[in-house]
Chain A
């Protein structure tokens, strides 16, 4: 009987398992996780921290999922090495398991800067339910907190803390929030909304020291200013969990390199999710796009192909949707162009009073990216125009009109129209 091993019990891993089971009902499937929980909605830990999502609703699949799909789940079981020559994986506890096909979907871990005091108790990453429970456990004695980093994770952590009545400051090295998904102008809208709701944003400064004996007392900035703070959350980006393949012949850059079948350079080893680098359709090169929908999509393709299918992955792109205090924001593909770069053109609409900002970035007559603040209803259409590389010159003037929509592009998309007769 064929044996599949999936390292990673999250977005990519679960979606791969489902794809395998659709095609192969009998094979043995082993899923490994170095965490202690059934698969959960990782992106909801900030809502969990805020008290808006209860533990029973954070599970990604019902408890019965593993049994119903005949999956052997090994929790708290860290794989430390892949032996691609002998087709087996080796765990921290020295146990070994062999596979016919392997999926590496180990995700990513928070990066910690080398700031003085970063190892102190009370400094947390924000990635797992365990991190979240650790933070929540300190809330009864926490009045002030600092978040390092103004990316998605940092801001979400700040939101969670604020909702629990902690006075929170976000310390950001760059000149804007969300510099990995928004331009300066769009970021301004988000920053304003956060500030209006009591989250303090400090731009252009870095933390040089976390101060305190035993418990944290304060943080010090490079401007020599210091803030009282008894809790620190680090949101300085993530790096792919690739330690387990570093000594193999599996190729990697920042992440493990995947081809258009989500296969590594070793034919029976596949990879998906935050740990991998796949072809990025807007950049035209391989890139890590560490996002939930991307992980699900890639996991599905990997699982299908591991069980004999031949699905082609057209590639990933950076995209995200967030909402803070009633302000929705979507970013797709390339969101910022270097000043003076004549390869790109832009179309923009900005209404500060209405809190609406829209920007579309073109290369020749193709859309390569977009930002929507306040009004995001058509973002799915733009994602499609980007992914399917649809030439837009014939309807460019309609793109930002209120009633632009699917009917405008239906003759140009890949799938044949089904419902209009």
Chain B
């Protein structure tokens, strides 16, 4: 299962990944057209600065996902085969229970669409769009490594 990792030393905090993410999830996929879409596509990844370093934060597709546990509409499910948390938007009511419990604040409310914003690893593409967009190569897309707890 491939996961996103970040070489924090290389991250400049330029937010190219945020833009690429929003664009990848827009209807048209083209910057100038995307900006004119009726509902503006928002990034599912946020770069957060702390103690002079920058950290891209997005959904980690936890194996023991708190958001799935809390989802009172059964819209979020953990797909064992794909190793991913999937979201069935047709079931979602926008109660934001998932936002309340995500230990990374990696799922955020989109009040306009009433559907939470969360990384789907650009599911139809070979790799997440943020990976290529990063000018310094700080975003790493590779097989999972499990660090001992």
Identify the A interface with B (CB < 8 A).
Answer: 11, 15, 41-44, 47, 52-53, 57, 59-61, 292-293, 296-297, 300, 319-323, 326, 328, 330, 332, 376-381, 383-384, 403, 405-408, 413, 415-421
Contact = CB atoms under 8 A, between A and B. Distances in A.
Nearest to A405: B48
B99 A376 contact: yes
Interface stretch (B16-24, B88-96, B121-129): B88-96
B97 A377 contact: no
Given A406-B105, A407-B57, A321 B69 contact: no
- Name B's interface SS: loop
B95 A403 contact: no
Contacts of B90: 57
A61 B103 contact: no
A392 to B, nearest CB: 14
A379 B48 CA distance: 16
Contact of B73 (A44, A296, A326, A418): A44
B37 interface: no
Nearest to B93: A47
Nearest to B55: A407
Q: Which 8 A-B pairs have the closest CB atoms?
A: A293-B70, A407-B50, A405-B48, A380-B102, A407-B55, A43-B72, A321-B100, A292-B72
Contacts of B70: 292-293, 296
Contact of B50 (A321, A384, A405, A413): A405
Given A323-B95, A377-B99, A418-B147, 16 more contacts: A44-B72, A44-B73, A321-B95, A322-B95, A328-B99, A376-B96, A379-B100, A380-B105, A381-B104, A383-B103, A406-B105, A416-B148, A420-B8, A421-B5, A421-B6, A421-B7
B111 A328 contact: yes
A298 to B, nearest CB: 11
B69 to A, nearest CB: 5
B33 interface: no
A136 B114 CA distance: 25
Nearest to A57: B91
A44 B104 contact: no
Contacts of A376: 96, 99-100, 109
Contacts of A379: 99-100, 105
B34 interface: no
Given A380-B100, A403-B49, A44 B60 contact: no
Contacts of B95: 43, 321-323
A4 B38 CA distance: 53
B108 interface: yes
Contact of A420 (B55, B74, B105, B114): B55
A419 B4 contact: yes
A380 B99 contact: yes
A381 B105 contact: yes
A421 B142 CA distance: 13
Contact of B104 (A43, A60, A326, A380): A380
A420 B53 CA distance: 11
B149 A415 contact: yes
A57 B71 CA distance: 14
Contacts of A421: 5-8, 140
Given A405-B48, A407-B57, A418-B60, A323 B7 contact: no
Contacts of B97: 292-293, 321
A328 B48 CA distance: 23
B133 interface: no
A323 B96 contact: yes
B105 A41 contact: no
